[in-house]
Amino acid sequence: MATIRFTNVSKSFGKVVALDDVSFEVEDGEYVCVLGPTGSGKTTLLKLIAGLLNPDHGTITFDGRPVNKVSAQNRNAVYVPQQYALFPHLTVLQNVAFGPLARGAPPAAALETASKTLELVRLTWRASAFPSELSGGMQQRVALARGLASGAGLLLLDEPLGALDARLRLDLRHKLRDLVKNSGFTAIHVTHDQDEAMSVGDEIIVLRNGKIQDHGPPRRVYRKPSNIFVANLIGNASFLEGLVDSTVGETAIIELRGGLTVQAPSKNLTLTDPVILALRKERLRISCERLDLDNLFKGEVRAVRFLGNSREYLIRVPNGLIIASRTFGGNERAEYAVGDQVLAGFLEGDAMVFGYPAKGLREELEIE
């Protein structure tokens, strides 16, 4: 495939700006996930790469060559839409063989490619069924197979697992990644499921209102998100308002609203700056015994939420703030109950500090 580069690309539909001055690069063989709320411009981005839309401004290049004038058919890219549009009058096998046939492969070779691809998505046993005889999940797998068999090196996948039940989605996302990686494809995969993005992507691009908010490997985006919106969208966090009280070397003393003071990293902070301290839920640890943490305070359990492989506790700390704590693992019976007095705390380095957003905290976190 090729290295794809967007330079200052914008696209509007009437008054709605779908993509606003977007620049990024996807390397050959990379698996990139595009994450963002509904209406953030994810699908528009895919369609621009596919050649199904043309940008209003800016350039898109494949290996350094502008493709603005290259038709969709000649981009070596296949777009797999969210609504898997299979041919209803063709069998599963014929649907998958359609791409290679359309590209001029001899029928025997096209059918062989199709059979191999169906094996990959484990639908060989349904090869002669018609789409209407399949469940939604199976149809989605056929659509994926058709994309994979098309011969294109660049896969543009729009919510490829969106129609599947949670259990199947979990199984298939790892298979999908293996498939793409083993076949040497480049993939751009749009999703609004953050776990899915972290599981399959080498890189994650976060979009909001047509603008890129962050772009990097999952670990970096999770641990050092570029702003509050990204911190909220990827991985849950509590957001606490405060003022910088003093700084001592690498450490800042921050007074949270209500009077509780905590230590946090002092990087780029100025005295009396209003700040937002973001804390990943799993980083707020709770215990009945003393914990060796930089920030430790008394708290009361206000709610317990069972989430399967984890539990979330809402802890009310002395200044009245409620901070969430998430513990991974855990047994059938919760360790703490509503009303329990506990110690809660976090390490200085676990706090993520951001400047107070000009628009206000609520507006900055707003998803819709």
332 counts as binding other proteins under rule CB under 8 A: yes
CB nearer to other proteins: give 75 or 208: 208
170 counts as binding other proteins under rule CB under 8 A: yes
Contact present, 364 and 229 (Cβ < 8 Å):
yes
CB nearer to other proteins: give 150 or 325: 325
Rounded to whole angstroms, the Cα distance separating 103 from 72 reads 13
Q: Smallest gap, in angstroms, from Cβ of residue 341 to other proteins?
A: 22
The vertex-202 CA angle with 201 and 206, nearest 5°, equals 60
Dihedral sign for Cα 55, 58, 64, 69, please: positive
Contact present, 284 and 341 (Cβ < 8 Å):
no
Q: Burial code of 285-306, b = ≥16 C-beta within 10 A, e = fewer?
A: bbeeeeeebebbbebbbeeeee
Rounded to whole angstroms, the Cα distance separating 348 from 110 reads 59
Using the contact rule CB under 8 A, the part of the chain among 49-57, 69-77, 286-294, 330-338 near other proteins is 330-338
List binders of other proteins among 50-89 (CB under 8 A): none
Contact present, 6 and 67 (Cβ < 8 Å):
no
CB nearer to other proteins: give 237 or 264: 237
174 counts as binding other proteins under rule CB under 8 A: yes
Kindly state the tokens that stand for 153: 């090196």
Binding to other proteins by CB under 8 A, coded x per residue (else -) over 336-365, reads ------------------------------
Using the contact rule CB under 8 A, the part of the chain among 25-33, 41-49, 239-247, 277-285 near other proteins is 277-285
280 counts as binding other proteins under rule CB under 8 A: yes
Binding site for other proteins (CB under 8 A): 37-38, 135-137, 165-168, 170, 174, 192-195, 198-199, 218-219, 222, 232-236, 280-283, 285, 305-310, 312, 326-334, 367-368
